[in-house]
Amino acid sequence: MREKLEEILNREVRPYLSLEGGGIEVVSIEDDVVKVRFDGSCKMCPFASFTLKTLVESSIKNHFPHIKGVEIV
């Protein structure tokens, strides 16, 4: 699952984050919750929680419907 998750992030999420000088790292997957860390300009962005829900979580849940949520750590 981790490998496919990284492929999805590489294809659907990271290109958009990199446009603003940011990135994302998967920290862990626990109890069907994906924990991520933003880096670069995304780390301190006031819209990080919006990006998490509208871009990151929606992309992940589209491919992994069993995922309960995505959290920033």
pTM for the predicted model, two decimal places: 0.91
Number of domains, the chain: 1
SS3 content of the chain, % helix, strand, coil (to 5): 50, 30, 20
pLDDT value of residue 65: 96
Residues 17-47 pLDDT 10s: 999 999 999 999 999 999 999 999 998 889 9
71 contacts: CB under 8 Å, gap ≥ 6: 33, 34, 35, 36
* CATH code of residue 18: 3.30.300.130
**12 lies in which domain range?**
2-72
Q: Residues 42-68: pLDDT tens digits?
A: 988 899 999 999 999 999 999 999 999
- pLDDT number for residue 40: 95
12 pLDDT band, cuts 50/70/90, is very high
